[in-house]
Structure 1
Amino acid sequence: MGRSNLDTAKHLIKRRKFDLAINILESYEDIYEGDFEYYLALGVAYLYADVPGKASQNFRSAREIKIKNTQLLLGQAVIFLRHGETDRALEYYLEVLDIDPRNSIARSAMEFIRLYGDYTTICKWVDSGDIKKFYPPLGMNPDIIRNCVLAGLLTGIVCSVLMVYEPWKKFNKPLTEFDSKFSLSTEEIKNPLQINISEKDFTVKLEKNQVASVFNSAKKYFGEGRDNAAQVELNKILNSNAASSIKQKSLEMTELFKEPSFSSLKDNYSYLEVKENPLLYQNCYVIWDGTAVNEYQKSDGSWGCMLLVNYIPAEEKRSSIGTVKVVFEKAPAPPVDMEKPVRFLAKIKIENGELYLFGCGIYQQLKGRTLGES
């Protein structure tokens, strides 16, 4: 069933197309003669179109058919209010509240009359259009609803496109030199493990689906500036049953790692962690505290000592958690004060199955027997 002309006009009024609604309604006056909804709709359309005389005329016609209707009463009340006839307006607002005690428009209009009911203020409100807040409500504009829905759909489409496009863009962006060099080939991903390898030849057993994950984790950590964490992941591969070509790429990636400083080192590992699985931390840098003993210097200029890890009596650390050899390529200058605790920045090395530290930096307090902060 199609929409009637009256319904079409009402829809246009909701869309704030008042002139179009008036044209339609006026064209079918003879058909809708004596129809309450017709006169009410035409009165509202004229009211919003700023033709209050015509609005009042149609409201009166509607009132002859039906009296108790809040839309009609609000329309008639605001006509009286526009003319400064506040007493008559109050009568109609009270009728509205008899029908709908919670009607916010009637209550607001009555409060306005109580506070600002002089004719001068009313004229200013009519001129500015503020008086329209007391007009019969039209409800939400369907055009706004439609536009919001369209905007939502458009946003959804854009987001969907971006979700598809961005990964595609990322996937298809030109590979950097690093990505190009350190990406596993299709063959390496398909066959990441060595075949015919004895279990005695590796200490870390990786499953087929683990190799690429470990390798990519190393790349991720390297990109974040966490060389130590990347080194640990690559050590898993270097000491595993991974394919030789993947091990070669892992070894080449380690050559990109840089020596840190005391302040820049990330992912420091404790003596106990390293001691439990030295191969996993080989070539990682660590910062370990303790007391140096048994120093020596060789003819080639190298210097070494034994470090009693975590043994610092002045800090109430009176027992060592382990002992490790420390070797410096050249004797430190200034020399290590053997009477004070020391903090070494060093690289973990393993030689003939023995764990030792290759020294890179030394920190000692100028005064006192504690280390404090470096």
Structure 2
Amino acid sequence: MPQTVLERAKRAFFRKRYNDVITLLEPNTIQYRDSFTFYLYLGMACLHTGDVGGATTYFQRARQIKMRDPDLLVAQAVLHLRRGDTHQAVEYYLEALEYAPSHKLAQKSLEFIRKNSDPESISALVETGKISRFYPRIRRPITPARIATFLIPLFVVLVSFGLYYSVSNSIKNTPSRADLSQLDLDSGERKDPIAMSGTYRYVLTEKEIFSTYEKSQRFFQIYRDNAAQVEINRILNSNASVSIKRKARQLMGYLGKPGFESLEDRYTYEQIHKDPYLYLDCWVIWKGMATNTVSNESFLNFDFLVGYDTRNVLEGIVPVRFSKVLPVDPEKPLEVLARVSLDGGTLILLGASIHQSGKPSEF
């Protein structure tokens, strides 16, 4: 079966024939103008041949198509590292970790910069060719032949040594995320769980306090941090005792920051607008449009038209505040990853990241 130009270029890439990749792909930029994969392979081939200008151009086009690919961000970061612009490189590595918190190459690169940020070390890295250690590796496509090559011998080994059953058991008995035994309620807290005076947003019974607190711990252990935060907020705004509230606040310190792909329990604008105190410090991913944008070298603020990405329905307007500068095109829809907060009783979002595609949504 005849192969496409891109398929032939992929084969050449994995054989490290990078000049052949460039020769095959560059004449076909119009045909593949909307292909992220095309521009990623072309940019990586340029990077391996030392064509920094070509790599920069093709990576920029790839990012217009797909903004939050961590390998692409790492590739763009290493371009800045080659130039000695460690500040910009760090920004790209951190953004890659927002989308893929366990990205090993981004972590390794940040550790290198932390220890070797001087111009001499980076120049030596480039001159010796060791900079290639920080180039992202594109995974080879999975084909039926490759699957058979790896899985059949693996299956035989697993059956022969009985590892299949041990793997199954290990999956069933996945260890807890963290030891929270020090946050378990003690006998005194269980004996006297209710504060006897004060004004509270949520008035709970003893049984409800215990149930809510235990749910917050359970949600944490199964990586549902947003759901855990809701239960913590219910405790903090309730008639629970000071001691129980203190432990709930300690649990908050274990909650992690999600990425666009990893966020569980996504709450809507309507849910949060009805009771913002219940969702304080939860993370949201909302679509909409930006307006009234204000920024300088250290911040970005705008009013977010929630739900207006289709320009049919406006759910509400929420101020968004970033403590860093990110590119925003007010003419195109965007997604915002942000943490829920209040400012003088007004709902606001503390921004972490933005995804804005190269094309507007269908109107």
Length-normalised TM-score, structure 2: 0.50
Report 1 or 2 for greater relative contact order, CA contacts < 8 Å, sequence distance ≥ 6. 2
Length-normalised TM-score, structure 1: 0.48
Structure with bigger gyration radius = 1
